[in-house]
Structure 1
Amino acid sequence: MKILITGSNGLLGQHLIPLLLQDGNYEVVATGRGPNRFPLRDNYTYEAVNLRDAGSVNQLIDKHQPDIIIHGGAMSQVDECEKNKDACWDTNVGATRYLVHAAEKYNAFFIFLSTDFVFDGLQGPYTEESIVNPINYYGTSKVAAERLVHNSKTSWAIVRTVLVYGVVADPHRSNMITWVKNNLQQGKKVKVVDDQWRTPTLCHDLAKGCLLIAAKKATGYFNISGKDMLTPYDMAMQTAAYFKLDPSLVEKISSRSLAQPAARPAKTGLVIDKAIKELGYEPRTFAEGLDIVAGELNA
């Protein structure tokens, strides 16, 4: 079975590729912007592609005719989306439209990666049936893309996830854990909000959730996240404790003090009962996730 992954240079993509290859049932085609930045180069095909160009997308799908498409490519920097709305829309909505239309041509099963930011954060944690109501442009673009997928003529699954963390083979990219660890090791203070609640997701768990959906061709909406409800401050303090770094360097602040271009929902988090019951999804705790991240950093 041939599976095509978009956004393969990102955190999810770099953990999906080895998982799919290890499974042994998939011929993998990975796509990303620019050259392949994943050190593992064997046993799969990589194609550089501009997903914002309809012709390029059609050419890609016509060439490979995948059975399954996992669309993880996105513009996901929330403040950048707020400042560059046209680029955000073209990347998150336009590219999804082109891919969905191409998927319909070959009846490819379409798995779309979405976000907890489709919600307003007033009544979290959220189930798959919760009403979407985004409060920033990134969330708005993802809702629009979700609707394109939902209304498509091919079979589909929409995966919502939260605050994904892990290690990626790109020194220019960091996430919550590596950012806190690197700053504290250098004796630098970090300011972290304690008035936003999330269920942070280990990238390995998100990749496994996508594989479970692909294997079962399970349709509909699925919440795939961690199970611990934490604030970024909680995450930073647990990271400091795990790596035996100075917790006094972690300063607790409110979201209002940051004056970020994009509003953030106060309390999201996802209820993952459906994924556990229907897919057999079993995420790690945040403490277990820290252990895995530490092992990969050491490696």
Structure 2
Amino acid sequence: MKFEVLILGNSSATPIFERHPTAQIINFNEQIFLVDCGEGTQMQLSRFGIKSNKISHIFISHLHGDHYLGLVGLLSSMNLHGRYSDLHLYGPAPLIEIINLQLKYSETTLQYNLIFHPTNSEAEELIFENNSIRVTAFPLKHRVPTTGFRFDEIQRPRALIRERIEHLNMPTVFFSRLKRGMDCVDLDGTVYRAEELTKPAPVPRSYAYCSDTRAFDAYVSSIQGVDLLYHESTFMHDMIGRAIDTLHSTSLEAAQVAKQVGAKRLLLGHYSARYRELIPLLEEAQLEFVNVELSLEGKWYKV
């Protein structure tokens, strides 16, 4: 089952060095989610072959422009492209006022339902769940109310071992019980053991997105044991004073967080415009955490 992340933008504050403000696509088994929507996101979607009308949910971490200024344009283009399916939007409560004001003065009426879900920057909360994935928002520490997002695959049922059951005269109603790990007994007393007739499902995967934030202890529990962690790394550690003043993190701090929470892999991102070359940020993070990569625009990362 597909679970991967496409980087559309990895720059902080402004587009520079052919890098764009923050935006990411998450493809979970062809469910398409957009995380943040900085300036230029529409063009990046087109560039990398993502049809905007396939996006079902949009998650906005906070109301600094480099994370949401592409949103109204994207919503308008979806309308022009004939969207009629519902679109769910998650973000800080004032976001809907911003959208409505711009739609009002452009005299735009959306032909689809835009369903807004305000996020809570004070406490962790489950904000979306279906039968295959759940999304949790959790507080981060930045200059405005900000949340991160964690995407967790829901445990799939065990798989039937076809070659072991095809010769058994087993009631088909037992199949779902066996896949849930439950043994079954038919009317003549025959026992069908789940452990013998099924195999375990793959271990559920997880992705966490830590937008602009100081590295601090409060969100550690929300990202514990994550398979792939994206953590902002605006500065190198020689700029720690600037990171503290602006409530951002350094690449070294991102690596320390990944190590602390037991993440399997770390993606760096949200690079300051002062860095044309990014390898030094990678090398600094690798001093603390081995399995780390730079997030690069146009690249898919498997979870």
TM-score surpassing 0.5?
Answer: no
TM-score (norm 1): 0.33
TM-score in terms of structure 2 length: 0.32
More helix as a share of residues: 1
Is the strand fraction higher in 1 or 2?
2
Larger RCO: Structure 1 or Structure 2 (Cα < 8 Å, ≥ 6 residues apart)? 1
